[in-house]
Amino acid sequence: MKVGIVGATGEVGRQMQICLAERVKGIEELRLFASPKSAGQKIDFQGMECTVQVVKEGCFDGLDYVMGAVSNALSKEYRPMIEKAGAVYIDNSSAFRLEEDVPLVVPEINGDDALKNKGVIANPNCSTIITLMAVAAVHQNLSPIKKMVATTFQAVSGAGAGGPIELHEEVIAIEKGEPVQPKVFSAQIAYNCIPQIGSMNDNGYSTEEMKLQNEGRKILHAPEMDVNCTCVRVPVYRSHSISATFVTERPVSVEEAEEAISRFPGVKLIKDGLPMPIDTSDQDIVYVGRIRRDLTDPNGLVLWCCGDQVRKGAAANAVQILEYIEAHK
């Protein structure tokens, strides 16, 4: 199998190499692409020396899969070249997620959708993946979710490789009594929370906040599910956390929900203790806990979940999509 990664030197692209090495056997060629700044850099992949290249005409020829880890604008620019080369494009940006002909896939939830691809598959938003992993067992096995109210607590690495550097530099500057100069984030992130991620829509919700409803409907095959979401950037290096309240068609007991969630692949129910981002970092399992009754609605439940957004929220999920397609050939 021949695989390419565009954005190979970024937060997701680097993790993609680790996930490919962990999960996929028989990669005979790994072609790495990044900006001119990184061109020529040598990266070891399972004993193979890969030289980072820039994207140019014909550079994707001969590849079976291209894993995308670049911005929306670059993903749109490179898509026609990848399609022309005949490779399957598994993209982490949000550029194509809502297109009808592009499956939007979390393999544990709607893996079969990936098999209907026409050359492009989208990896969902990171908080959406983690939240849906937590609630899918209830939606698919007990009672459909009609509506959900969620608040996300998103780690700085979700903003790319520059996020953790900015948090670290701000902590040091503050310790020294020096002023902080935010570049990646809109305000100081050290010792702070920023209650906006993405640009604002006319409806008062940000682009990031609307993803849970728009992408959630597509992944769960629930076109009428309504979602209110508030996205908050928090000074955590890695792993997003989400507080979710959801209302199902029929009342579901806490015990039923716990039983279903504990059996769902890729999810760990935490009954003794608390799911925390520090515990979910650097692995692919989503932790779910604090399941309790919603005191405002008899059909409602409340839970807390955490997951590594660079792994399960991006790179690992994308690699799982590749694995799913290969396993169903």
**Least CB distance to ligand NAP at residue 57 (A):** 14
Write the interaction track for ligand NAP spanning residues 66-105; mark x where CB under 6 A is met and - where it is not: ---xxx--x-----------------xx------------
Would you list the DSSP string of 36-54?
TTTTT-EEEETTEEEE-B-
Residue 307 near ligand NAP by CB under 6 A:
no
Residues 6+ apart with CB under 8 A from 206: 196, 197, 198, 199, 200, 231
Select from 38, 128, 188, 213 the one that contacts ligand NAP (CB under 6 A).
Answer: 38
C-alpha dist (Å) from residue 205 to 42, 196, 227: 42, 9, 11
For ligand NAP, give the closer residue by CB, 13 or 107: 13
The answer to whether 314 and 12 are in contact (CB under 8 A) is yes
Tell me whether residue 178 is exposed, middle or buried, using C-beta atoms within 10 angstroms of its C-beta: 0 to 12, 13 to 18, 19 or more: exposed
Residue 212 near ligand NAP by CB under 6 A:
no
- Report the distance separating Cα 123 and Cα 207, nearest Å: 16
For ligand NAP, give the closer residue by CB, 73 or 200: 73
For ligand NAP, give the closer residue by CB, 9 or 248: 9
Q: What sign has the CA pseudo-torsion 244, 148, 221, 89? A: negative
Token duo for residue 186 = 């809109």
- Report the distance separating Cα 117 and Cα 34, nearest Å: 26
User: Could you tell me which residues are beta bridge partners of residue 122?
Assistant: 91, 104
3-class SS at 105? Answer: coil
Site for ligand NAP in 137-196 (CB under 6 A): 157-158, 160-161
Instruction: Select the span of 29-37, 211-219, 220-228, 266-274 touching ligand NAP (CB under 6 A).
Output: 29-37
126 is catalytic: yes
**Least CB distance to ligand NAP at residue 198 (A):** 10
Place of tokens 């409907």: 217
Catalytic pick from 19, 59, 126, 306? Answer: 126
Q: How far is CA 183 from the centre of its chain?
A: 23
- Report the distance separating Cα 322 and Cα 317, nearest Å: 9
Nearest to 125 by CA among 197, 215, 234: 215
**Least CB distance to ligand NAP at residue 231 (A):** 13
Residues contacting ligand NAP: total by CB under 6 A: 29
For ligand NAP, give the closer residue by CB, 20 or 69: 69
The answer to whether 253 and 138 are in contact (CB under 8 A) is no
Residue 37 near ligand NAP by CB under 6 A:
yes
Residue 17 near ligand NAP by CB under 6 A:
no
For ligand NAP, give the closer residue by CB, 107 or 313: 313
Residue 314 near ligand NAP by CB under 6 A:
yes
- Report the distance separating Cα 281 and Cα 283, nearest Å: 6
For ligand NAP, give the closer residue by CB, 291 or 316: 316
Select from 30, 31, 33, 111 the one that contacts ligand NAP (CB under 6 A).
Answer: 33
Select from 3, 4, 7, 117 the one that contacts ligand NAP (CB under 6 A).
Answer: 7
| End-to-end Cα spacing for the chain | 13
Catalytic pick from 19, 59, 231, 240? Answer: 240
Residue 19 near ligand NAP by CB under 6 A:
no
- Report the distance separating Cα 248 and Cα 146, nearest Å: 5
For ligand NAP, give the closer residue by CB, 74 or 252: 74
Q: Report the interface residues with ligand NAP, using CB under 6 A.
A: 6-13, 33-35, 37-38, 55, 69-71, 74, 92-93, 126, 157-158, 160-161, 309-310, 313-314
**Active-site positions?**
126, 240
